[in-house]
Amino acid sequence: MIGKLTALLFGAAILTLGCGAPRAPAPPGGRIAVMAPSAAETLVELGVADRIVAVGDFVDWPPALSRLPKIGAYDAPNPERLVELGVALLFTTASEAGRGEHARLEQLGIQVVALDTSTFAGTLAAIAEAGRQVGREAAASALLARIEARVDAVRRRAAAAPRRRVLVAVGHDPLFVAGPGSHLDELVTLAGGVNIAQDARSPYQMVALEAMLERAPEVIVDSADNRQGNPRGMTAGFWARWPFLPAVVQGGVAHVDPWQLLVPGPRLAEMAELMGRLIHPELFGAPRALDFTGHPEPAPPALPAAAAAAPR
Amino acid sequence: MSELRGKARAARERARSPLALRLALVTLGLAVALGVAIAIAVSFGAAEVPLWRRLLGGVWSDAQRAILLALRLPRVLAAAALGGLLGVAGVAFQALLRNPLADPYVLGVSGGASLGGVIALIAGVGGLGVPLAAFVGALASLVAIERIATSDGRLTVFTLLLTGAIFNAFSAALIYFLQSVASREELSAIVFYLMGRVPSPGLATLAALWAAGIAITLALFASARDFNALTAGEEGALQLGVDVERLKRRTFVLGSLATALAVSAAGLIGFVGLVVPHLLRRLLGPDHRLLLPAAFLGGASFLVLADLAARTLAAPTELPVGVVTALLGGPFFLLLLRRRGASLGG
């Protein structure tokens, strides 16, 4: 599942890269490989799904991509597979560690585009950059305009509401939370909340549970440790051990599948609206069952027409 | 040979010198120090809990009571028991191997424990499953290492050391393999598990850790004279009437049990079992009758204070406690080495 991101690796995966100097787009029409789930969603949204020939191990959404050849995890694609598949353009999450490898791939004639989705602004910039690289600037601009309009609507609606204290957990053992700089922090703020981990030192930070208990969150958005089979929804779960927490008393604890919130890409607007429903249900309406779950399993591939029509 | 006899005689004389008073003073002093360390550690944390005002008649909120009684106090008491176990295991292995560089992790049991824990994490076993699997892994490696290192009914220290090192390397390789095929969530769980962290355990776990710590310390203490004799070498100890084979086997098992418990409960926390015995040996001399209880109490204080630093230095961020013990222990150990120079060479 794409969404099964846990704290450290999530941080490592999206805290990355710096695209460096803007690069000229690759020649149009070349084959594309994409490592990160967020970039994969963006490319499909921009209408270039048919050019994508390979994906990172963790890409299983959108369904159009879930059955493509896998080429490795994180920002470490297998160069032999890339060459074999004739990839001309690689979308990855750049990291210091990956820089040398990216240079080597460029020598092999593969253009590497490293997208920075570590922040809200970075996610928007990454959509624009992806559009430029695949020659779909107009589609990217339209997508960005749609996202920004919906996000603005959330922001405006929440503007007058009282700020509620929110904790966003992305890992339990140890406790990892979203801190300043993360897109989650931005989403909390624009949806009428105050992130109680504002003094965390990085976008995803290991923190002391006692400090978070002391700050008495009114809403807990928990995307941690969501192995399959774990409960989803408005349920006190892990936090019920602390019955004095306002979030537990008021039923403000939401266990949300990481897919809903931890893949910063074209679904940012949906994430903002979901955050609105979790923090201010009186303004945005109560959360729905689908708000907590992962993406639906992709439908099985259609049988080839000939096979389907064959007499039994 | 006569030199050996001389050493043996010196060891015997040390062993005979009246020590009851020193033992009482050292134990009492270190116990008071541990009490002070625990009191300080319970008083500070990422959250503010007016501990002393409560004792003067103030009132805690529900959150403050939970923070203190469900999180902080169990963690401080766990740190004490774990530090004690590691300190005692360090003394035991240093005596067994007659090498001051031995630490609780040198004889392979920690590798088996880590591997067991990692397998449990990948299998998706939650709660107490991980420490239990780690303990089973540690016991399995303990038995295997003991079998492999025994030939003709004798436990050879050299073979034991080599077997332990190979066991650790083998476990590490298997863990790397498991990490490379793990999913993202499993990988991060493994990384944090191996990093080492003092838990806030329930009452039963806490009682078990403390009971085991005290029992193992007392069991090793019963062999303290034999350890003193062993410093003169196996032959010297034999001449003094020590059942060296039994002593080695017992020490290996008890030290490994202490290590297994510590690693199962808290992962790999380095330097405690190395630095604490060294410091105490400098302060108290080489007599194991003083050293063993002192290592339990001293290790306990050391880890309580190191964990306090890990909890508070960057609050609300938590630092891995192994980082703190390394930062405190590493330079200190180098300083000791430099001061004592070649005399540490064993």
- Where in chain A are the domains? 7-147, 162-291
Q: Which of A58, A208, A213 comes nearest B318 by C-beta? A: A208
Tokens of B216: 């193992």
In this predicted structure, what is the pLDDT of residue A11?
Answer: 44
CA–CA dist B303, B267 (Å, integer): 13
Quick check: A213 and B47 CB within 8 A? yes
pLDDT, mean of residues B67-75: 92
- Chain A residues whose C-beta is within 8 A of a chain B C-beta are 4-10, 13, 58, 73, 171, 173-174, 197, 199-201, 205-214, 216, 225, 227, 241-245
- Answer whether residue B29 shows pLDDT above 50: yes
Quick check: B316 and A242 CB within 8 A? no
In this predicted structure, what is the pLDDT of residue B13?
Answer: 55
Question: How far B103 CA sits from the closest chain A CA (Å)?
Answer: 27
- Chain B's closest residue to A11, CA to CA, is B188
- Chain A's closest residue to B180, CA to CA, is A73
Contacts of B67 in chain A (CB under 8 A): 210, 213-214
pLDDT, mean of residues A265-276: 95
**Alpha helices, DSSP H, located in chain B:** 2-16, 20-43, 51-55, 62-66, 73-97, 109-123, 129-149, 157-181, 184-195, 203-221, 224-230, 234-239, 244-266, 272-284, 288-312, 321-340
CB–CB of A54/A76 below 8 Å? no
Question: Top-level CATH class of A162-291?
Answer: alpha beta
Quick check: B317 and A58 CB within 8 A? no
Q: Which of B67, B184, B315 comes nearest A213 by C-beta? A: B67
Question: Which residues constitute the domain of residue B307?
Answer: 2-345
Q: For chain A, say whether B311 makes contact (Cβ under 8 Å).
A: yes
Which of A75, A205, A210 has the most B C-beta neighbours within 10 Å, making it the best mutation to test the interface with B?
A: A210
Contacts of B64 in chain A (CB under 8 A): 214
Angle at CA of residue A285, ends A281 and A286, nearest 5°: 70
Q: For chain A, say whether B40 makes contact (Cβ under 8 Å).
A: no
Name which of B258, B122, B112, B119 is nearest B172 in CA terms.
Answer: B112
- Chain B's closest residue to A74, CA to CA, is B184
Determine which helix (DSSP H) or strand (DSSP E) holds A53, and give its type and residue range: strand A52-55
pTM: 0.81
A7-147: CATH homologous superfamily? Nitrogenase molybdenum iron protein domain (3.40.50.1980)
CATH number assigned to the domain comprising residue B72: 1.10.3470.10
CB–CB of B54/B60 below 8 Å? yes
Q: Which tens digit of pLDDT belongs to each residue from A89-116?
A: 999 886 766 777 888 888 888 999 988 8
CA B132, chain centre distance (Å)? 18
Q: For chain A, say whether B197 makes contact (Cβ under 8 Å).
A: yes
- How sure is the predictor about A244, in pLDDT bands with cuts at 50, 70 and 90? very high
DSSP conformation letters of A231-280: --EE--GGGGG-TTSHHHHTT-EEE--HHHHS--STTHHHHHHHHHHHH-
In this predicted structure, what is the pLDDT of residue B57?
Answer: 73
- Chain B's closest residue to A225, CA to CA, is B185
Please indicate whether residue A197 or residue B188 has the higher confidence score (pLDDT): A197
CB–CB of B306/B325 below 8 Å? yes
- Mutual orientation of helices B157-181 and B129-149 as an angle, nearest 10°? 140
- Answer whether residue B181 shows pLDDT above 90: no
In this predicted structure, what is the pLDDT of residue B100?
Answer: 79
The secondary structure of chain A in percent helix, strand, coil, rounded to multiples of 5, reads 40, 15, 45
Number of domains in chain B: 1
In this predicted structure, what is the pLDDT of residue A25?
Answer: 62
- Answer whether residue A34 shows pLDDT above 70: yes
Quick check: B46 and A216 CB within 8 A? no
